[in-house]
Homo-oligomer: A and B are copies of this chain.
Amino acid sequence: MRIAFLLFDGVTALDVIGPYEVLSRLPGIESVFVAREPGAKSASGGLRLLADQALSDVAYPEVVVIPGGSGVHALLNDEPVLSWLRTAHSRSRWTTSVCTGALLLGAAEILRGLRATTHWRSLELLSSFGAEPVSERIVESGKVITAAGVSAGIDFALLLASRIRGDGMAKAIQLALEYDPRPPFDCGSPEKAGPELVELVRQSTQRAES
């Protein structure tokens, strides 16, 4: 089973690596990293990740994972990327996104009529693609699964791992990752963070953008 992760300049690294770290541990999985032009892609913050496949090399992956990041916006009218996504989705077992990767699914017309989520700052944008925005951490709409901002990709991938190989395997991966989170603060959602912190993050520069 091949899982295709889309890479692009301005991707948020954790949007990719959270799901990758979980899903690549499933037996019989091949992770492939695709891009419009293969090569090094710069994540926000400076790290470079290598995309070794062109879109046309991976026409029909079983699972598609679309991460978010500031670079998503440049792709919303990119016909080769949208066309690849539509074609892949036509035969995929799962088509998924993390964070603002959902906007790309929306631009490819994949979310029309579906419940979906994305980073809380971008949630309202989903309506413009005909989706029903839902403020949940993971939203399953048939084979389309969307996850909320950045770190939600880990929770989403454990859920997907359980769908692919059962709860036992997903639990083993969760233990192997020692995923027993203890966030130092209780402010990971807008509701918990309160209006001041929300406003601070909304106004923050692209540096803190997701």
Question: Which residues of A are in contact with B by a Cβ distance under 8 Å?
Answer: 12-14, 17-18, 20-21, 24-25, 27, 30-33, 40, 44-50, 52, 99, 119-120, 137-138, 148-152, 154-155, 158-159, 162, 167-168, 170-185, 187-190, 192-193, 197-198, 200-201, 204, 207-210
Contacts and interface: CB of A to CB of B under 8 A. Distances in A.
24 contacts: A13-B17, A14-B17, A17-B47, A21-B45, A25-B208, A30-B46, A31-B47, A32-B46, A47-B49, A148-B178, A151-B178, A158-B185, A162-B184, A167-B185, A171-B185, A171-B193, A171-B197, A172-B200, A173-B208, A174-B183, A175-B187, A175-B198, A179-B183, A181-B181
Given A48-B52, A50-B40, A151-B178, A184 B159 contact: yes
Given A170-B185, A180-B183, 4 more contacts: A49-B50, A149-B178, A172-B208, A181-B183
B25 A207 contact: yes
A173 to B, nearest CB: 7
Contacts of A30: 46
Contacts of A137: 180, 182
Contacts of A193: 171, 175
- Report the 8 A-B pairs with minimum CB-CB distance, sorted nearest first: A180-B188, A149-B178, A24-B45, A14-B21, A181-B181, A17-B17, A48-B50, A179-B188
Contacts of A50: 40, 47-50
A154 B180 CA distance: 11
A152 B178 contact: yes
A8 to B, nearest CB: 15
B45 A25 contact: yes
A134 to B, nearest CB: 14
